[in-house]
Structure 1
């Protein structure tokens, strides 16, 4: 019987996938995940926990600006803080307070996060928009191996089917959301903030202030406005393309839009057929016991 990782590769992933504790993950991160739970953390670490394509780069840049106290871009890409793929020596070299990112679910993370009660921020996004954005990233970016072609070479139909089944890198978006929704009940003493990509789009200044207060770095209102403006889609895309060092970035296919494709909400409507949308809604309702809210 095939594993879900094998099914994902048959759907069109050229990236080698495998199972890790019932999750579909890239083979290349297994050495890191194998010792993940015992990794050390610092009391003032801030963990940004997201499913891919849910506003990770956006929120990470905002958090770093808040810590700096000014609208100044980080030197490196977000990849420098990505604990799922970085060795401990790279992460240890980051100055405190560290803004660390992960796409893993709570039970996979270092146990010390919960013991030390580190601050955790979870950002969620309309999973239909996530599916479209993830498809574009997978078909345009070369993961893990610079000499390889795109990570996914199948069709949109094949990708969406794998996405719904969770047969893709980082597993099911549905299960990821459900796992993070349980954190307040499972770890009531751990500082936890849950945000939504759509709220950032509607009122970025308000969310920047919310983030600053949550990580105990309040700033003047003017700075919130400056950070929100600097992290607007066009300016942040320019910064990532022209201002940051190439270290920790992963190569994209020539001519592709990179991490910053559109930054919109509702783009899924241009890609989902009626039948695909209805199927997606049914699966969502089965898992969440509510109608699709977006």
Structure 2
């Protein structure tokens, strides 16, 4: 019987996938998990937890501006502070307070996170939009060390969606990811996470920025929230990431690709999913929610 990792590669993932504690992971990251739970942390570390394509770059830049107290872009790309991608030595060089981002599940995180009660902001996005955005990215992204002629995923949209919704993609199931982070306070004795919805950020970013700032105990003048929202608009952040920010931690893309910043819209999934695909996706999501006793809205 094939593993979830083997199913993913058979569908078109052009990287070596392996199973780590029941979750599909890229083999290139597998060694990081051997020491992940014992990773050293600092009391003032701030974590941004997301499933891929949930607005990670956007929220990470916002958090940096909140901590800085001004609407100035961080020097590097957010990949510079990616918990499971960077080495302990690299992250040790980051100045406090560190704003680290991760796609890990709560049970995969360093144990000190729960002991030190570090601040965690969790950004959730419509799962169908995540699926579409993920497909568009990996169909054009070139995995580090891979052939520049080969994208990370070489299959069709149908191939991708089939394995994506079954958790056969790197970082596992989006359903499990959302449910486990929603359930953190029950599992880790009242641990408080600031949960933010991508769609709410699109509708009123300044209000959500203020809510994140208050959670971090970093209150700012009201006008600063609007300034940060403007600086982190899709158009401005895309320009900054391509023309202003240091490109050291950038990744390779096929020629003509829009890179990380594609559309930044909510609801684009309606242009991709067939009625049958949408219904099947909903059924699997609702089943996962019932299993975890958590109600998670799809839209």
Q: Distance in 1 between matches of 2:159 and 2:43?
A: 43
Paired position in structure 1 for 2:147:
147
Runs (4+) of structure 1 exceeding 6 A deviation are none
Report the secondary structure of 1:195's partner residue: strand
Matched, 1:197 2:198: yes
**Would you say how many aligned residue pairs link Structure 1 and Structure 2?**
294
Residue 251 of structure 2 is matched in structure 1 by 250
Unaligned runs of 5+ residues in structure 1 are: none
Task: Give the structure 1 partner of residue 168 of structure 2.
Answer: 167
Contact residue 75 and residue 244 of structure 1 kept, 8 A: yes
Matched, 1:128 2:152: no
Give the direction of change, closer, same or farther, for the CA distance of 1:146–1:77 in structure 2 (3 Å limit): farther
Question: Residue 235 of structure 1 aligns with which residue?
Answer: 236
Partner of 1:213: 214
Report the CA distance between 1:246 and its aligned residue: 1.3
Partner of 2:67: 67
1:56 counterpart residue number: 56
Residue 2 (structure 2) aligns with: 2
1:20 corresponds to: 20
Structure-2 separation of matches of 1:146 and 1:250? 11
Deviation at 1:185, TM superposition (A): 1.4
Superposed displacement of residue 189, structure 1: 4.3
2:95: which partner in 1? 95
Mean Cα deviation higher: 183-192 or 43-52: 183-192
Going from structure 1 to structure 2, the CA distance change for 1:147 and 1:245 (only over 3 Å counts) comes to farther
CA deviation map 1:5-55 (0-9, x unaligned): 011000000011110000000000011111100000000000111100001
- CA–CA distance in structure 1, aligned partners of residues 124 and 116 of structure 2: 24
Q: How far off is 1:292 after superposition?
A: 5.2
Q: Which residue of 2 aligns with 1:284?
A: 285
Please give the secondary structure, in 2, of the residue aligned with 1:30.
helix
Given that residues 238 and 261 in structure 2 are in contact (C-alpha distance below 8 angstroms), is that contact kept between their aligned partners in structure 1? yes
Q: 1:144, 1:191 → 2: CA distance?
A: 35
Tell me how far apart the structure 2 counterparts of residues 188 and 200 of structure 1 sit (CA, whole Å): 28
1:143 deviation in Å?
Answer: 2.0
Contact 2:282/2:298 (CA < 8 Å) preserved in 1? no
Please give the per-residue CA displacement for 1:42-72, whole angstroms capped at 9, x wherever unaligned. Answer: 0000011110000111000000011111100
Deviation at 1:152, TM superposition (A): 0.0
CA RMSD, Structure 1 to Structure 2 (Å): 1.2
Residues in 2 aligned to 1:280 and 1:48: alpha-carbon distance in whole angstroms? 26
8 Å contact from structure 2 (residues 127, 298) kept in 1: no
